[in-house]
Amino acid sequence: DIQMTQSPSSLSASVGDRVTITCQASQDISNYLNWYQQKPGKAPNLLIGDASNLETGVPPRFSGSGYGTDFSLTISSLQPEDIATYYCQQYNNLPQTFGQGTKVEFK
């Protein structure tokens, strides 16, 4: 199985801060990577597909980049509604696997 390692596991930031979450795959996954946002009691919500394609309706302050084994999700200016846990997921190989999550909290 491909292991997806996210860092950090949690972070504290202030409104307006630039936040970056990284995701490293244990082997090359090309650009077959999704990013999700999950709020408490809700299902994950797809933010970015194919490593960098913003889903319809997702604010442009979210962006994704990377290829191969190293990826990142950036929130350019953190907003109160962005407090959530973020997950990466690879779909290059079966089984499709998820990172362990990054919890974003307010400082």
Partner 1 sequence: QVQLQEWGPGLVKPSETLSLTCTVSGYSISSGYYWAWVRQSPGKGLEWIGSIYYTGTTFHNPSLQSRVTVTVDTSKNQFSLRVKSVSAADTAIYYCVRQWHHWGQGTLVTVSS
The DSSP result for the chain, as a single string, is ---EEEE-SEEEE-TT--EEEEEEESS--TT-EEEEEE-TTS--EEEEETTTEEPTT--TTEEEEEETTEEEEEESS--GGG-EEEEEEE-SSSSPEE---EEEEE-
Residue closer to partner 1 by CB (options 75, 86) is 86
Smallest gap from Cβ 81 to partner 1, in A, equals 19
**What is the binding site for partner 1 (CB under 8 A)?**
1, 34, 42-46, 49, 55, 87, 89, 91, 94-101
Residue closer to partner 1 by CB (options 72, 96) is 96
